[in-house]
Amino acid sequence: MRTRLIAVLLALAGVAACQPEDFTNAEKATIASLSLSALPPLPADTTNRVADDPAAAEFGETLFSERRLSRDGTVACATCHLSERQFQDDLPRSVGLGTTDRRAMPLAGVARAPFLFWDGRKDSLWAQALGPLEDAREHGGTRAAYARFVADAFGVRYEKIFGPLPDLADVPAAASPLGSDAERAAWQAMPEEKRREVDTVFANLGKAIAAFERTIVHRPTRFDRFADAIAAGRRPDGDAALTEQEVYGLRLFIGRANCVTCHNGPRFTDDHFHNTGVPPVDGLPEDTGRAAGAKKLLDDPFNCLGIHRDGGEEACAELRFMVKEGEELERAFKTPSLRGAAARPPYMHSGQIATIEDVVDHYVRAPASVSGHSELKPLKMSDRERAALIAFLGTLAE
């Protein structure tokens, strides 16, 4: 009885702590801009003609969980992107056939991102899906093997969505421009037209997976209900209420702590790349982030300007006009969404920071970057303020 009474009193304190008139008009506008209610409809992906085809999404969901899309039949996309864990794996660095150099990013809302991966080395959701399939430490397969497998295992489903499969009878069992010496040699020995046909089937696998991933969205949290109430001029109560501490953390987030500069919009990310002085991991190769990612993107045959894009080149403005070089790209990594972040440690691109408390400490200290120039400036925050900021972040995960 005493526990229930305390819970009721705490809830009432949360309701009483905040009224719509407690915020300035500017604060209200910022808070409203962070709600999922402010998300516009998902833009069409004209580079993928099946992006919003339900049959393609269903096929993509099958492929997403298909372990046979790996060299030894043990790894699927779902191995590192667990649906019950916000489509990520809770590991500092993901593990497929081997251990990778970076963390798996959660997938909710990823269809809205102009560039994919921590370094932005892919510029479409369907092109992103292709990378892990041939990475030796992830799925470790070859595009020729995947084309043959899909023709054998899913030929009817594939052809209902994409049209007739090419004749793959003479295609080697394993061939890829990115594989072993033998696999690269087998790829080069294939006629150019046959390589193009295999690439088309391979690209279509990515397009089906992307159609499924476009259906993975964020779910409203307590913060969204709070923000909608404030925007409507209503008192947030019940499951829309925030505690006094959480409201204080929100004020810091959009105010003096300046978190909203990069973690803005309904997805709490600007989709840009920033150097924030995150240290490297001992024993891993040098990781220059966007500096290397931009070069990889330009060289990618599956980028927006490549022959496997559906639709016209007008969809490729992001690629055409992106910043391609400069010191600001050095050790700059993609701003992750903060939705659900409080519940998915560790943090940063290679899991360098163990807890959300340590993340706040990192931004307060603003350490220098080992290369390039960190954008952070030291920030004075009391223990009370740090606790409030962390409490607010928790409202994005419930």
Q: Which residues contact 309 (CB under 8 A, 6 or more apart)?
A: 47, 124, 315, 316
Q: Which of 219, 207, 218, 216 is nearest to 55 (CA)?
A: 207
Distance CA 81, CA 255 (A): 33
**Each residue's pLDDT tens digit, 118-164:** 999 999 999 999 999 999 999 999 999 999 999 999 999 999 999 99
Domain count, the chain: 2
Residue 246, CB half-sphere, CA atoms under 13 Å: how many? 25
Which range marks the domain in which residue 201 is found? 54-213
Tens digit of each residue's pLDDT (9 = 90 or more) over 187-200: 999 999 999 999 99
Residue 17 pLDDT: 53
Question: pLDDT digit string (tens) for 267-306?
Answer: 999 999 999 999 999 999 999 999 999 999 999 999 999 9
Which positions ≥6 away from 356 have C-beta within 8 Å? 341, 342, 345, 347, 390, 393
Same domain for 58 and 205, yes or no, is yes
- Written as one letter, the residue type at 172 is P
For residues 208 and 226, membership in a common domain is answered with: no
pLDDT at 16: 44
CA angle 363, 367, 369 (to 5 degrees): 115
Asked if 191 and 279 sit in the same domain, the reply is: no
Closest to 135 measured CA to CA, from 168, 95, 173, 172: 95
User: Same domain, yes or no, for 145 and 10?
Assistant: no
Instruction: Identify whether 304 is part of a domain.
Output: no
The model's pLDDT over 17-36, given as tens digits with 9 standing for 90+, comes to: 567 679 999 999 999 999 99
Are 162 and 207 in a shared domain?
A: yes
Residues 200 and 226 in one domain: no
Kindly write down the DSSP assignment for every residue of 114-133, as one continuous string. SSBSTT--BSSHHHHHHHHH
Q: What is the spatial distance between Cα 340 and Cα 347, in angstroms, rounded to a whole number?
A: 12
| Average predicted confidence (pLDDT) for the chain | 95
> DSSP assignment, residue 239?
G
**Among 58, 374, 10, which Cα is nearest to 208's?**
58
Residues 254 and 226 both lie in one domain: yes
Q: How does 315-333 read in b/e, with b if 16+ C-beta sit within 10 Å?
A: bbeebeebeeeeeebbbbb
Give the span between the Cα atoms of 350 and 325, in whole angstroms: 23
pLDDT tens-digit profile of 46-96?
A: 999 999 999 999 999 999 999 999 999 999 999 999 999 999 999 999 999
Domain-located, residue 244: yes
Strand segments (E) across the chain: 273-274, 333-334
What contacts 162, CB < 8 A, 6 or more positions away? 50, 204
Q: What's the first-to-final CA gap in the chain, in angstroms?
A: 25
Q: Is residue 381 domain-shared with residue 280, that is, in the same domain? A: yes
Q: Does pLDDT of 12 surpass 60?
A: no
DSSP 334: E
pLDDT of residue 1 exceeding 60: no
Q: Tell me, what's the pLDDT at 166?
A: 98
Structure tokens at 333: 């990594």
- In-domain check, residue 296: no
CATH code at position 249: 1.10.760.10
pLDDT-based confidence at residue 11 (cuts at 50, 70, 90): very low
**φ, ψ for residue 182, nearest 5 deg:** -65, -40
**Residues 73 and 195 placed together within one structural domain of the fold:** yes
